[in-house]
Structure 1
Amino acid sequence: MTAYTLSKKFVMAKTYTKVDITKRVNTFYMFNQFEQAEYEELMNLIETTYA
């Protein structure tokens, strides 16, 4: 399972708070675990899921 797939599952399940999942996604992106498109999709998903 990739970092992207796991992160997406965590966002959709609301496993973490919005702040925590955003930090995790940013950390994965910082270490090049996501493509730009995947990062943008996750950030949009966080905004809509945790609205």
Structure 2
Amino acid sequence: MDVRDLVKKWEGVLSEGSDIKSDKVKKSTAIMLENQHNYLMEQTAWGNDSF
């Protein structure tokens, strides 16, 4: 998935609170959110709820 697509996917979260003015920060935060989401979904799929 392209980084711009991730920013669109997570726009609802990224727009909460004060506006993120830096594109680099917005993109890196979207990547971090996606990685965390994928990790949690993987842990749930394996039935590992110790996180």
TM-score by length of 1: 0.42
Q: TM-score, normalised by structure 2?
A: 0.42
Bigger share in helix: 1
Could you say which structure has the larger radius of gyration? 2
Q: Which structure has the higher relative contact order (CA within 8 Å, separation 6+)?
A: 1
